[in-house]
């Protein structure tokens, strides 16, 4: 329970590294390019990436199907 309010350990270290990396990259990026966030630099295991990708795909399909549900054939 305490961890949810105040994360510690490798996860927090990962976030700190991502914050530093994003500040450096954004300071050196070209005009007109999108800024990067700390989450763009976080380590994510291959299994977690696969699960996130699947969840994103399902959410996109659900969003596409939503307008069609209200229409009559």
What are the pLDDT digits (tens) for 15-43? 889 899 999 999 999 999 999 998 888 88
Q: CA-CA distance, 29 to 24, in Å (whole number)?
A: 9
**Which comes out higher in pLDDT, residue 51 or 67?**
51
Q: What is the reported pLDDT for 14?
A: 83
Residues 59, 53: Cα–Cα separation, whole Å? 10
Question: Is the Cβ–Cβ distance between 42 and 14 less than 8 Å?
Answer: yes
Domain membership of residue 50 as a residue range = 2-70
> What's the token pair of residue 13?
């270290």
Number of domains in the chain: 1
């Amino acid at each position: 329970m305490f961890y949810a309010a105040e994360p510690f350990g490798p996860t927090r270290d990962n976030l700190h590294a991502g914050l530093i990396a994003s500040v450096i990259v954004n300071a050196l990026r070209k005009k007109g390019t999108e800024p990067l966030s700390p989450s763009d630099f976080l380590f994510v295991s291959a299994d977690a990436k696969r699960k996130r990708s699947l969840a994103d795909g399902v959410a996109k399909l659900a969003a596409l199907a939503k307008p069609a549900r209200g229409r009559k054939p």
